[in-house]
A and B are shown apart, each in its own frame.
Chain A
Amino acid sequence: MTRFPNVALLFGLAALGLAACGEAPPPAAAPERFTIAEPGPIPVTEQQPGDPVAGYRTVVNRGYVTCGIPYDAFRSSGLLEAGEPRLSGREGRNAELPYMFNSTVSGEGVELVVSNCLTCHASEFEGELVVGLGNPLLDFTNDPSVNAELLGAFVEDGAPAAAWAKWADRIAAIAPYMVTDTVGVNPAPNLTLALIAHRDPATLAWSAEPRLEPPPREPLPTKVPPWWRMQHKAAMFYNGSGRGDHVRYMMMKSLVCTDDIGEAAEIAEWFRDVRAYIASLEPPAYPFPVDEELAAQGEKVFAGTCAGCHGSYGADRAYPNLLIDLEVVGTDPAYARQAVESERFVRWFNRSFYGQGAEAMPALGYVAPPLDAVWATAPYLHNGSIPSIAALLDSTQRPTYWQMDTEPRQYDPDTLGWRFEALEFGKEAVEDLQRAKRIYDTTRHGYGNQGHQFGDALGEQERSALVEYLKTL
């Protein structure tokens, strides 16, 4: 028996300050400007060059989050035993840590265990840990400040205590803005806005009291998108607001602890390579049999129904980077609208170090994403409201209330999603709080599963062929 056996908790601690190694908050516009982008093609910006190999080394070894848990406390609490270090390329102390943690040393010489990007951006598929695949099982339904504070029981006096207190204080500051009511959805945008609220845009200095009005307490749900899309995307984030230099968005996880421009600049240098690594990632191949004949029929359906927005694949690959108007796509508008209404955060971003070279533009729309290995990325839509592609393509099959089967989690090759149970009732009908947290309720604000009903016009055979084709991407 381990002394600290809970992997879910491990993820929870690692995720503290997960703000954006990929999909983060809707950021801002050009300096001193607040521009709402119009629907249409998003212009491609040339990205900084970098070394993908060095980038991976940074992702899994370096302390780009610069505050965390003193190593001795991490070990004493039993956290070391709670996750397997299953990644290649882990160096030194990193090799013994669970994969969602990296090792670093604070300026005061305290060895720290800090969270890394893979808390959210790695997930298992058929027993394999897939780096870049968003984790659809993370549980943000508990107040993270509780565990951060409890870890103090294992921290020694002196410099380790000060290091732990800094980290725990940051977690306490953002905790009220990152507790979701549903397991599996991700609060990264909201917690990033909460971090921004505490920082001076010019110096990045942390203020114990918010300098800006904080975001709403209830985070909107988002799904963690796959990293391998980034080699095709002109702008980051579901609403395409992350325009310009992607490095500055990808490094925003450092907002948790980085309190000065010098440190931020060093991390930005590292993240030139990280961006190159993320852009180099290739999607995994579908691991189950594919009916090639049916898939070929599906390719034609795709070309006629989907390719206009999502692009074409194969030898004639083309991706249009289209921002689709909310009125057209019809999916839940809350995320896009909140970004547009977050002007103070947009302006902060543009004035800050993070906005240098980056031009963020929220928009009343969503980007039609590249669909490489889309079969691996359930649940679907930006809020993860639809459990399978089959349901995405036939809106009559979308459950209003549903719960993913998690013991064990099982992939359904027929529907391209994780097996789930459709329910006749929402959270309110369930007394057991733990069970209620696992129910996805699409009637809640931001959780809607409407829109993107383009598959409804297809016949059953066409949809079946289309599903088969999507397995080949």
Chain B
Amino acid sequence: MRILTALGFIVTALLLTVLYYWSADPGEPASVPEPSLVFPVDAAETFADPPTEWEYRFPADHGSHPGQFGEYWWLAGQLHDDAGRARAFQLAIYRLALSQDRPDTESRWGTRDLFRGQLLLDPGSYDGFHADERFGRDALGLSGSDATGAWIEDWSIVHDPDCGCFRLRASSADVRLDLTLHPSSPLPVTIRGMPGLDTPEPGSHGYWWPGLRVAGEVEYQGLSTSVAGDALLEHVWGRRLPVAQGQLTTNRLWLSLDDGSAVRCLQLRRRGNGGVPLGDCLLLVPDAHPVRIASRAWAPADPLDGDYPLRWRLESPAHGIALEIEAPRERAAPGFSLPLWSGLMQSAGTVDGQAVQGWGWLELSGY
């Protein structure tokens, strides 16, 4: 599916352009090249596609894959504090390489990787939410990635091999998260490329790990509380990462349902109505292999009108699935440099004929 190569380059070019303009601040040494729209594409082209099949090795694959052009660690979850207040959070860290090798310089400003992070905390009320975005580079030790994970200043997602768990730490203006996340299943679900396209060369590899048990502390507007809950992790690396472009939006959904099942959807869809949605959904029920559901099964509940669609349906009679998915309340987009909507969802309906409900996370871009 070579068109994805082209798509991937465009996607990464966009991301890198944002990152690179940020990185080229006036205080840098003159050795840094001038910003160029061509430059990011050139950087992407120095990387080969990842191998057709990836030999997963854990815990090594929880860490960084510096041989790959791009990578992201993506965590979201729903929490409750001691007082029963609901909280939802997301921390995502993206890494993109400027070159295969580190710059041939002894300067501490030498940069190989650029990073972007996004942090969201939904306090579970109509009072708003907290959103913050950061950019970083692997210069001066400010940001980086290694065998355990990635960090941008004091935002980090790392794997701790001693406990077999993940640790998330992030502080922002009036938010602080300090969470430990323990898997409830021995291994994650591996994911390969853009789902549903049956590409011989997938362009990316990674994994999705739903059902992480969360414990820790959340501080919001000066109030620190112990929390516990449920979260999911997605970690993907390769040369082609899904981002909206042109007439196509990117829609991603993760669901965690109370019967123990989980759903992950990734879809490219026309910004307007019509067209053939690309991608698929994976349904994971306990003690079974993931089942693929065609992308057409997941669609906005209402005609698109230019705004972010926050009501969706997932319907697949063949799999006994009929789920309504909607944001628990109206909420604006977070205002990141890359326009997107990201937030908590709630879901109810049936799976295999049984009534279920649960929480989820929706991320939309390109609208």
Contacts and interface: CB of A to CB of B under 8 A. Distances in A.
A150 B247 contact: no
Q: How large is the interface on B (under 10, 10 to 19, 20 to 34, 35 or more residues)?
A: 20 to 34
Nearest to B275: A149
Interface stretch (A3-11, A109-117, A235-243, A291-299): A3-11
Interface stretch (A17-25, A88-96, A152-160, A319-327): A152-160
A77 B275 contact: no
A177 to B, nearest CB: 14
A172 interface: yes
B200 A434 contact: yes
A1 interface: yes
A150 B5 contact: no
Chain B contact surface mostly? mixed
A161 B247 contact: yes
Q: How large is the interface on A (under 10, 10 to 19, 20 to 34, 35 or more residues)?
A: 20 to 34
A129 interface: no
Given A3-B6, A3-B9, A77-B3, A149 B274 contact: no
B200 A155 contact: no
B276 A152 contact: no
B3 A147 contact: yes
Chain A contact surface mostly? helix
A6 B45 contact: no
A310 B76 CA distance: 71
B275 A172 contact: yes
A153 B2 CA distance: 14
B267 to A, nearest CB: 11
B268 interface: yes
B327 to A, nearest CB: 26
Contact of B270 (A5, A152, A157): A152
Nearest to B194: A150
A9 B3 contact: yes
B190 interface: no
Contact of A149 (B5, B200, B268): B268
B198 A142 contact: yes
Contacts of B4: 150
A9 to B, nearest CB: 5
Contacts of A3: 5-6, 9, 41, 45
Given A153-B245, A153-B247, A155-B246, A169 B275 contact: yes
Interface in A146-198: 146-157, 161, 164-165, 168-169, 172, 175
Given A165-B247, A165-B270, A152 B3 contact: no
B10 interface: yes
Contact of A165 (B2, B7, B198, B275): B275
Given A3-B6, A146-B197, A152 B274 contact: no
Given A6-B2, A9-B2, A76-B10, A150 B248 contact: yes
Contacts of B274: 165, 169
A73 B10 CA distance: 12
Best-surrounded residue of B3, B247, B268, B272 (most CB of chain A within 10 A): B3
Contact of B275 (A1, A73, A147, A168): A168
Interface in A1-40: 1, 3-6, 9
B45 A1 contact: yes
Given A1-B45, A165-B270, A149 B6 contact: no
A81 B69 CA distance: 23
Contact of A152 (B1, B9, B197, B275): B275
Contact of B276 (A78, A142, A145, A161): A145
8 contacts: A5-B5, A76-B10, A77-B6, A145-B276, A146-B1, A150-B3, A152-B246, A152-B248
- Shortest 4 CB-CB contacts between residues of A and residues of B: A6-B2, A152-B247, A153-B245, A153-B246
Given A77-B7, A152-B247, 16 more contacts: A3-B5, A9-B1, A77-B6, A82-B2, A145-B276, A146-B197, A149-B275, A149-B276, A151-B3, A152-B270, A153-B246, A154-B10, A155-B247, A156-B246, A164-B247, A172-B276
